[in-house]
Amino acid sequence: MNIATTRGTTSRAMSLPNILTYGRIAAIPVVVGCIYAQSIMDYPLWLRWVAVAIFIGAAVTDYLDGYYARIWNQQSAFGRMLDPIADKLLVASCLLMLAADGIIHGWSLWAAIVILCREILVSGLREYLAALRVSVPVTKLAKWKTTVQLVAIGFLLAGPAGDEVVPVVSLIGLGLLWASAILTMYTGYDYFRAGIHHLIKEDEG
């Protein structure tokens, strides 16, 4: 690899959209740490508001990194690879912490399980389809699923701190989590159907 190519690769890796994605990943241990400290170690409730604020900032970067990549023509293979990984790490970490916290409990655990299983399914399908050089575009419904999912997690992170302000914050979060799970199953089926279609074509070929 020559010097010009190396500099170009480094420049794309350190573009603003990718830096925003790095920030989303860096936010994960802070959010999880705040909820762990408040729930498991019995620290003050205000830590949950810190977690919510950081989570909202991380969620906003999910929109901004794609927006700036498009308008500034800074889209890269590295960014396309890292962006969905950052999303899945953020969502999975928060769901697991909220389950340990007890905010997600009982039947609502099934909603979280559906969401996590779908993410694993889609990741596996994307890896398989990438080997076939097949790209599966993100649908508008999938984007709505992500939005509902992030809003649900935001409400659940607030949890008891939010319930002190508005008593139904946790219930709203759980309701949105189920709505997200339903959308997750539908969009996951779309990805699965596309994967099976290409798998059958590959076997026949």
Residue 6 has pLDDT above 50, yes or no: no
pLDDT bracket for residue 108 (50, 70, 90): very high
Show the DSSP H helices in 72-139 as ranges. Answer: 77-101, 108-131
Q: Is residue 3 one of the residues assigned to a domain?
A: no
What is the extent of the structural domain holding 28? 16-204
Global pTM?
Answer: 0.86
- CA 58, 64, 66: angle at the middle one, nearest 5? 115
Residue 3 has pLDDT above 70, yes or no: no
Q: What is the pLDDT of residues 8-66, one digit of tens each?
A: 445 566 777 788 889 999 999 999 999 999 998 999 999 999 999 999 999 998 887 77
Query: How many Å apart are CA 72 and CA 94, to the nearest integer?
Result: 31
Q: Is residue 118 one of the residues assigned to a domain?
A: yes
Q: What is the pLDDT of residues 179-193, one digit of tens each?
A: 999 999 888 887 777
- The tally of domains found in the chain comes to 1
CATH for 139: 1.20.120.1760
Sign of CA dihedral 72, 22, 43, 178: positive
